[in-house]
Chains A and B, each alone.
Chain A
Amino acid sequence: MMKETTTDILVIGGGAAGLSAAAEASSSGAKVTVVESDLHLGGQLVKQTHKFFGSKDEYAGTRGYKIADILLDEIKQNEKNVDVMTNTTITGYYIEDGMFTAMRGEESYIRIKPKKTIVATGAQERLIPFPNNDIPGVYGAGAVQTLMNVYGVTPGHRVLMIGAGNIGLIVSYQLMQAGVEVAAVVEAMPKVGGYWVHAAKIRRMGVPILLRHSIKEALGDRVIDGAVIMELDDKFAPTGAERKIDCDVICLAVGLTPTTEILSQAGCDMRYVPQLCGFVALRDRTMRTSNPDFWSAGDATGIEEASAAMVEGRIAGLCAARSLGLPVKSDRFDEYWSRLDHLRAGEVGEKIRAGVAKVMRDRWED
């Protein structure tokens, strides 16, 4: 007989958004179950050695991995309300009876039937096509971070970074901190996509950022031993100028796409929104989806900074708890929204603002 459990609020994903949602909901007395597919909680936060941006409310000036500790400590204060399952992956949702199935490790299966669900599943990395992109040595940027910053394993000796968004820039800096040489960062666009200051940090350490460049092919027989990069013109067509780069790792930081399968299974209205980097659920300002028992927060609702994911998690946690009739501090709702609005007000937030406008609905009809 498969084990079956129940809970007030199921939080799927124990990263920046999920932990914030769990902290918020459990503080109002909700029984929360956090399911995390990784072996530990913390999501992307535990790999971030750089200090976060934002304001004091988003722990600005504190390194990401320390912020994970702060959230975990907060959850500990209500630990009687929080049940955590790591190494557990939600494998499906059965809308007929509101049942989730999950896999613990590789062999054991359980069923979970929550009253409410917050989907904070984060994102997965995109790929770009080029010959030999499948052989060992081509790694996702998140994977490189896990390897070096969580487990202390050197990813390689010389890395070619593909993509100059915040992740490509930050991971390049982290590689240098781990003693790994960064051969270059290539970026197809005519300007870095990440924060200018992150680019300046690695430029002054001597790392070239080659704009209007992309990878043509990876070299190597069984594993990567180099790459050919090419220059692009203003229509992204190769100019013919090419160069060989010696490297044993090609790190892909070409963007993320929201992880939303569960939301689709739950019948939530979904839209493809380029500015949010994929299919995301329509939502109201409480972060509730068109399925009245489902909320969503963080990268699963559109790719954005972790600081915004934490605030969205707070909103979802607060509102899911409120829907259970629990006493919540309702003034926090406006405070969280004012923080989100500030985080999104700058030039980098323009894309997010346009994306969110496409998926934000008035309160769903009951």
Chain B
Amino acid sequence: MDLIKEHPVLDVGYFKRHARVEFTFDGKHMEGYEGQPIAMALHANGVRVYRETPDMKRTRGFFCAIGKCSSCFMAVDGTPNVRTCVTPLEAGMRVETQRGKGRVAINPPAGE
């Protein structure tokens, strides 16, 4: 894991690291800290590519970390375009590389 183990100024306890939880990234089991943004957990696991753009198939990843740039959009538990840099990690989350614009499952209203 790419984690800072010691720091000259900050106590390691200062880092927001709560209970360790498991989640999956594209089906692979990974570990992270509950409540930390999903993007940070992925970065600590060495994952750099979070999505691919619709037309040019350019890779995108972590960038602004304040939920503003859309670079880190991923599909989380089936919901696309989740801002992973500001969305807290939960145990059992299913995180997937987003390819293209993402699809939202829409249930048509009854009767149509």
List residues of A whose CB falls within 8 A of some B CB.
37-40, 49, 63, 65, 87, 89, 105-106, 124-125, 134-140, 142-143, 146-155, 177-179, 222-223
Contact = CB atoms under 8 A, between A and B. Distances in A.
Contact of B59 (A105, A152, A222): A222
Contacts, number: 113
A152 B61 contact: no
Main secondary structure of the interface of B (DSSP, over half): loop
Interface in B59-109: 59-69, 71, 79, 82-83, 85-88
A124 B67 CA distance: 11
12 contacts: A105-B87, A124-B66, A134-B71, A139-B63, A143-B64, A147-B43, A147-B65, A151-B16, A152-B15, A153-B4, A177-B7, A178-B7
B54 to A, nearest CB: 13
Contacts of A39: 35, 37, 86, 88
Interface of B: 2-4, 7-10, 12, 14-17, 33, 35-37, 40, 43-44, 48-50, 58-69, 71, 79, 82-83, 85-88
- The 6 A-B residue pairs whose C-beta atoms are closest, nearest first, are A136-B61, A152-B15, A143-B65, A136-B48, A154-B2, A49-B9
A71 B67 CA distance: 24
A223 B61 contact: yes
Contacts of B4: 148, 152-154, 178-179
Contacts of A150: 15-16
Given A37-B67, A124-B64, A151 B17 contact: yes
A147 B86 contact: no
Contact of A153 (B44, B48, B59, B82): B44
Contacts of B17: 151-152
Contact of A138 (B44, B50, B63): B63
Of B36, B65, B68, B85, most buried by chain A (CB within 10 Å of CB) is B65
B9 to A, nearest CB: 4
B46 to A, nearest CB: 10
A38 B66 contact: yes
Given A140-B64, A143-B63, A153-B44, A134 B58 contact: yes
Main secondary structure of the interface of A (DSSP, over half): loop
B68 to A, nearest CB: 6
A142 B3 contact: no
A136 B16 contact: no
Contacts of B50: 136
Contacts of B71: 134
B9 A177 contact: yes
A146 B110 CA distance: 46
A257 B7 CA distance: 31
B70 to A, nearest CB: 11
Contacts of A142: 64-66
Nearest to A49: B9
A280 B8 CA distance: 38
B86 A87 contact: yes
Given A63-B9, A152-B4, A177-B8, A140 B65 contact: yes
Given A37-B66, A105-B87, A154 B61 contact: no
